[in-house]
Amino acid sequence: MPSSKLLIYGSYGYTGKLIVDECLRRGIKPVLAGRNGTKLKEQAVTHELEYRAFPLDIVSTVAGKLVDIDAVLHCAGPFIHTAEVMSEACLGSGTHYLDITGEIEVFEMMASKSGKAKAAGIVLLPGVGFDVVPSDCLARHASEQMPDARFLKLFISFNGTFSAGTAATAIEHFAKGGSVRKGGAITKVEPGWKTEEVNFISYTGLTVTIPWGDVSTAYYSTGIADIEVYMRLPKKAIKRMKIGRFLQPLTRLAFVRNYLKKKVRRMGDGPDASERKKGETRVLSTVTDDAGNSRSFLQISPEGYTLTARTATDCALRVMNGEANNGFQTPSLAFGSDYIMDFEGVSRQSV
Ligand SMILES: NC(=O)c1ccc[n+]([C@@H]2O[C@H](COP(=O)([O-])OP(=O)(O)OC[C@H]3O[C@@H](n4cnc5c(N)ncnc54)[C@H](OP(=O)(O)O)[C@@H]3O)[C@@H](O)[C@H]2O)c1
């Protein structure tokens, strides 16, 4: 699609850079964008790409920057602060919108704009990274294998580290506590609400409920109204999470959040190339019907940021190619439950 234009906003962030590299590897020349002209210029000169510097403040101004753009791949988070302006600008300019959020509120915001997106003739496809492409495809696959399933649990296991941007986004949401879906409604629960020991096949680990994006998206992808998402964490971290319940009110204060974000920044940007190469992710999906019958499926995929770069780029290309219906979509609604199986290093089994 030589005439299609993809704009990557937040292109000089840790994950944005990986996505730009993946685009170049696939022969796509994206337009770089963000709010820092100096960083953009440096990145644009290095890769001989066009760039546009603009903040995400006034919708009409942002829409003006997108009039010749076919799709925006939005990589500037926490998205709770940026997705509203960018998605409204996309609605105004008739530009497809994709992002790499994992934030429940942002998915719900996008779902609520589905009618507007259809009227504007655009696709709204949030969550095209590790959170939620692999888990969303696996959840839908599990529900297709047990169509009358009433409960869904997803268990996620990383063996790598997080980027500073991901940690900052988690801090931003910590004060809101945990979330699960009960009877179709997103329901608040305490941080570290439930734990379960899980067999990820080659190892076992303790997992804990977390407010992961699938609490929102798996409902749209599977129709299942009761959803819990768990993550494998060290026992010490789970203990701290529970103790953290008492500190939770403190993190409602912006200066406390800013202090924690600065501390996280000092730990470095994110996993380096060798860590990303070594890393691996596993997702276990269990569906259960009213009679208590269960089925479980395990999916193995590459390290989270490597996978994010690949899935985000691929989703954007497919959307520009007209492969997704207009309106709000989840990855599996857009491309099917087997979409994730197209990526190198992904395998799935019934367990
Ligand atoms: N779903 C997934 O699987 C997945 C995977 C990776 C990352 N993420 C999410 O993606 C986001 C970015 O992660 P990262 O690792 O790339 O973080 P990062 O290295 O901190 O980069 C963040 C980028 O966002 C920009 N930005 C932040 N706030 C902005 C605002 N208000 N207006 C304009 N630009 C803004 C930053 O620009 P400045 O430098 O100018 O501030 C920077 O370019 C995080 O929210 C993270 O949780 C999700």
The Cα–Cα gap between 316 and 23 comes to 10
**pLDDT winner (highest mean) among 81-90, 176-185, 225-234:** 81-90
Q: Among residues 168, 193, 195, 154, which one has the least CA distance to residue 281?
A: 154
Distance of CA 285 to the CA centre of its chain: 17
What is the β-pairing status of strands 123-125 and 327-328?
Answer: parallel
Q: Is beta strand 151-158 parallel, antiparallel or unpaired with respect to 226-232?
A: parallel
| Minimal-distance CA residue to ligand 1 atom 29 | 76
Q: Which atom of ligand 1 is nearest to the CA of 15?
A: 16
Centroid of ligand 1 to alpha carbon of 79 (angstroms): 8
Residues near 216 by beta carbon (within 8 Å), at least 6 away in sequence: 104, 107, 108, 111, 181, 186
Ligand 1: nearest atom to the Cα of 269: 19
Mean pLDDT of the residues in the chain: 92
3-state secondary structure of 351: coil
The atom of ligand 1 lying closest to the CA of 163 is: 15
Residues of the chain with pLDDT > 90: what percent?
Answer: 80
Cβ burial 311-333 (10 Å sphere, 16+ → b, else e): bbbbbbbbbbeeebebbbbbbbb
Ligand 1 center to residue 76 CA distance, Å? 4
End-to-end CA distance of the chain: 41
The CATH 3.30.360.10 portion of the chain extends over 133-303
- CATH 3.40.50.720 positions along the chain are 6-130+306-335
Task: Tell me, in angstroms, the distance from the centre of ligand 1 to residue 5's CA.
Answer: 21
* H-run or E-run covering 317: helix 304-320
Q: DSSP secondary-structure letter at 147?
A: T
- 104's CB contacts (< 8 A; 6+ apart) are 179, 186, 211, 213, 215, 216
Q: Where are the alpha helices (DSSP H) in 94-213?
A: 104-112, 114-120, 133-145, 164-174
How far does residue 12's CA lie from ligand 1's centre (Å)?
9
Per-residue pLDDT at 114 exceeds 90 = yes
Second CATH level (architecture) for the domain 6-130+306-335: 3-Layer(aba) Sandwich (3.40)
Total H helices, total E strands in the chain: 14, 16
Decide if 31 contacts 51 (C-beta within 8 A).
yes
Mean pLDDT over residues 37-60, rounded? 98
At residue 2, the pLDDT reads 45
Which has the higher per-residue pLDDT, 103 or 163?
103
- Distance from Cα 78 to the centre of ligand 1, integer Å: 6
State the pTM of this model: 0.94
Distance CA 266, CA 171 (A): 15
Residues 210 and 174: beta-carbon distance below 8 Å? no
| Residue 238 confidence (pLDDT) above 90 | no
Q: Which residue(s) pair with 135 in the sheet? A: none
pLDDT exceeds cutoff 60 at 237: yes
Digit-coded pLDDT (tens) for 140-180 = 999 999 999 999 999 999 887 878 778 777 766 666 778 99
Test site for ligand 1: of 107, 162, 166, 308, most ligand atoms within 8 A of the Cβ: 166
The topology (CATH level 3) of 133-303 is Dihydrodipicolinate Reductase; domain 2 (3.30.360)
3-state secondary structure of 146: coil
Q: What is the predicted pLDDT for the residue at 214? A: 97
Ligand 1 centre to CA of 178 (Å) is: 22
| Ligand 1 interacting residues, C-beta cut-off 6 A | 10, 12-16, 34-36, 56, 75-79, 81-82, 100, 102, 129-131, 163-166, 169, 269-270, 305, 308
Q: Whose CA is nearest to atom 45 of ligand 1?
A: 77
286 CA distance to ligand 1 middle (Å): 31
Q: What is the mean pLDDT of residues 121-141?
A: 98
Higher-confidence residue of 267 and 348: namely 348
Side-chain half-sphere CA neighbours of 182 within 13 A:
6
pLDDT at residue 173 in the model: 65
Q: What is the predicted pLDDT for the residue at 1? A: 45
Confidence of residue 293 (pLDDT cuts 50, 70, 90): very high
Question: How many whole angstroms separate alpha carbon 324 and alpha carbon 342?
Answer: 16
Q: Determine the distance separating the centroid of ligand 1 and the alpha carbon of 347, expressed in angstroms.
A: 29
| Model pLDDT for residues 169-223, shown as the tens digit of each residue | 776 666 677 899 999 999 999 888 999 999 999 899 999 999 999 999 999 999 9
